[in-house]
Amino acid sequence: MNDDGDRHSPNASIIVDASSGVVEPASEKNELFDIIREADVDGVRYLRTADPSSRHAFIYMWCVIIAVFVIFALIQIHYQIMLFYSEPVATNIEMEYPSAIVFPTVAICNNNQIRVFQRSGFLLIFRPVFTFLANVSA
């Protein structure tokens, strides 16, 4: 970083990694760690400790944690795709154009079931609200 603190200035110092010969601006070398440190991720500060064994232990621990959650996400995606293909959408659209409609006898019914809410008791929790809304609209 140069004297005036501008990290993206063309005058910013350059770092050359001698092992690979890669030229990398100093402003970009630690930018990821700066972003993570400013985001208040508590465990990331241990990734840059002076002790190499503890640093590697934390890096491996984070890699394992991330890999486990990626595997869980892929399993959930697989189950959701299989659920989608096993129970196709059962909505039929029938268009009718009557000459006169008596209000409010129009009803749009969806044949799909909301099973997640039924399993979790969501409808039971909000039953008084639904009852109140049904009475108000009637």
Whether residue 75 has pLDDT greater than 90: yes
Whether residue 69 has pLDDT greater than 70: yes
Residue 51 pLDDT: 72
* Least reliable range by pLDDT among 24-28, 32-36, 131-135: 24-28
Question: Before 104, cis peptide (omega within 30)?
Answer: yes
Q: What letter would DSSP give residue 16? A: E
Q: What are residue 19's phi and psi, to 5 degrees? A: -70, -35
Q: How confident is the model at residue 132 (pLDDT cuts 50, 70, 90)?
A: confident
Residue 2 pLDDT: 45
111 and 92 in contact (C-beta within 8 Å)? yes
Residue 52 pLDDT: 72
